[in-house]
């Protein structure tokens, strides 16, 4: 037994794991199951066979044909696409957590009864999904880029998906679906296809950044670490700037209490979730745009941080941080007036519910309590200021009140004395 427990002197180095696309466990979906499911289109194998996504398959194949027509101008063929994707097929498979669904996996079968299949035995089908869905994702982002810049579209203006008349309605829904953790495509699939397309698509990271309007989130043009998929890239851009160390204290003061203590609020220079600072009496916070997709995107980002060991916990810490600031609807109204929160659709009541709801089942495992964060700084400031306000009130108002009352009290006593003397004199004459 002792020999078996002995560790080797030079243990073999463990290869980095690329697994990063996970099926969401039920403990997380209980918060809001709808937030973890795509609405309009499936990307990747997990939701591929769901019957309510069948109408989108026709549009995916139209995007594929458009992609093949474009690469044909550079003398590339469908076979070139297949060869390039075959080379990375095993690496693409490694990104997915569970491609083989066991029959006794009741949790998965209950939630994905239409899309559970053994993808490890259907590699040709898996590769087909990577190509078709990958081309569709690139075409959507490319069409949106052309629409935003006013370039001529390759599609008819009345196209039900790619037409300029439909982009305003369709793109926001697809943006949401492309940030669902179970709906991710490996970035490797997108970059492989983009390489075949040549200069038309350009840098995939830049294309994604422009698609999600992340230019203001971080001034950095490049992300140093290799990203697994769109959700991972989105998270890294949102947390790439700032010196805020994520720490959580249960006694975080609300926004209104901080303002009453003299704290001033202002927008940070970037929209990075880590660009939070507290200097003097000024709390700088990134501006957060809240719309119909905010709850879903935050929950999927938090799920990725919880399921992927090396992801970090910056988004989760930020959500708890904001939940600490937002204790009532009045706190939301205050942050909205200070332009920290930009509510595009929701009322203050709905925004309040979003933060209180998504932190209900979330945990902050792995965060060190002894890390000195911004919240600790302004909690200390708040306590000092409240002590100062109490002392100042007593010294300025209560003590001064007696000083103010004293001369009037003397006059009142003199008046009473005179009144009493007059009464005595009147009684004397009457007698």
- Tens digits of per-residue pLDDT, 83-134? 999 999 999 999 999 886 655 555 555 555 555 667 667 768 999 999 999 9
Indicate the number of domains in the chain. Answer: 2
Question: Does 198 lie in the same domain as 75?
Answer: yes
For residues 80-94, b (16+ Cβ closer than 10 Å) or e, as one string? ebeeebeebeeebbe
Between CA 395 and CA 389 the distance in angstroms is 10
Question: Does 290 lie in the same domain as 234?
Answer: no
Please check whether residue 82 lies inside any domain of the structure: yes
Question: Does 341 lie in the same domain as 217?
Answer: no
Per-residue pLDDT tens for 59-82?
999 999 999 999 998 899 999 999
Question: Does 221 lie in the same domain as 261?
Answer: no
Q: Please say whether the beta carbons of 108 and 36 come within 8 A.
A: no
Question: Does 191 lie in the same domain as 49?
Answer: yes
Please check whether residue 12 lies inside any domain of the structure: no
Between CA 402 and CA 276 the distance in angstroms is 45
Please check whether residue 387 lies inside any domain of the structure: no
Q: How far apart are the first and last CA of the chain?
A: 120
For residues 333-360, b (16+ Cβ closer than 10 Å) or e, as one string? bbbeebebbebeebebeebbebbebbbe
Strand partners, 265: 283
**Which residue in 134, 221, 220 sits closest to 184, CA to CA?**
134
Please check whether residue 400 lies inside any domain of the structure: no
235 pLDDT band (50/70/90 cuts)? very high
Q: What global pTM score does this model have?
A: 0.82
Per-residue pLDDT tens for 290-345?
988 999 999 999 999 999 988 888 898 888 888 889 999 999 999 999 999 998 76
46 pLDDT band (50/70/90 cuts)? very high
**Distance, C-alpha 38 to centroid of its chain:** 17
Please check whether residue 427 lies inside any domain of the structure: no
Give me the chain's average pLDDT, please. Answer: 81
Question: Does 185 lie in the same domain as 48?
Answer: yes
* Domain around 157: 17-238
Question: Does 231 lie in the same domain as 266?
Answer: no
Please check whether residue 364 lies inside any domain of the structure: yes
């Amino acid at each position: 037994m002792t020999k078996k427990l002995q560790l080797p002197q030079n243990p073999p180095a463990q290869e980095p794991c690329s697994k990063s696309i996970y099926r969401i466990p039920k403990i997380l979906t209980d918060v809001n199951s709808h937030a973890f499911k795509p609405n309009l289109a499936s990307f990747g194998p997990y939701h591929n066979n769901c019957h309510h996504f069948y109408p989108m398959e026709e549009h995916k194949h139209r995007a594929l044909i458009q992609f093949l027509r474009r690469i044909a101008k550079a003398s590339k063929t469908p076979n070139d696409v297949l060869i390039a994707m075959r080379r990375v097929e095993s690496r693409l498979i490694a990104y997915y957590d569970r491609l083989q669904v066991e029959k006794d996996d009741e949790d998965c079968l209950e939630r994905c009864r239409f899309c559970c299949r053994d993808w490890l035995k259907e590699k040709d089908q898996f590769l087909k999904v990577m190509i078709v869905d990958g081309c569709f994702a690139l075409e959507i982002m490319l069409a949106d880029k052309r629409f935003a810049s006013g370039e001529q579209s390759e599609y008819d203006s009345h196209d039900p998906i790619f037409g300029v008349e439909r982009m305003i309605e369709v793109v926001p829904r697809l943006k949401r679906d492309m940030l669902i953790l179970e709906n991710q495509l490996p970035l490797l699939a997108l970059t492989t296809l983009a390489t075949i397309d040549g200069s038309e698509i350009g840098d995939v990271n830049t294309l994604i950044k422009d698609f999600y309007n992340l230019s203001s989130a971080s001034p950095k043009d490049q992300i140093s670490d290799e990203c697994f998929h769109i959700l991972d890239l989105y998270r890294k851009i949102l947390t790439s700037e700032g010196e805020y160390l994520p720490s959580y204290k249960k006694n975080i003061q609300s926004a209104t209490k901080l303002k009453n203590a003299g704290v001033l609020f202002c927008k940070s220079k970037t929209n990075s979730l880590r660009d939070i600072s507290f200097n003097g009496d000024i709390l700088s916070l990134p501006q957060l745009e809240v719309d119909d997709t905010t709850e879903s995107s935050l929950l999927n980002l938090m799920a990725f941080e919880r399921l992927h060991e090396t992801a970090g916990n910056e988004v989760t810490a930020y959500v708890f941080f904001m939940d600490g600031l937002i204790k009532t609807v009045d706190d939301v109204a205050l942050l909205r007036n200070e332009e920290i929160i930009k509510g595009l659709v929701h009322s203050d009541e709905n925004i309040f519910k979003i933060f209180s709801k998504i932190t209900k089942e979330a945990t902050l495992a792995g965060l060190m309590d002894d890390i000195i964060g911004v919240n600790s700084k302004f909690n200390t400031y708040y306590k000092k200021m409240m002590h100062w306000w109490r002392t100042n009130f007593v010294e300025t108002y209560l003590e001064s009140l007696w000083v103010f009352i004293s001369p009037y009290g003397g006059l009142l006593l003199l008046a009473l004395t005179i009144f009493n003397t007059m009464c005595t004199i009147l009684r004397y004459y009457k007698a």
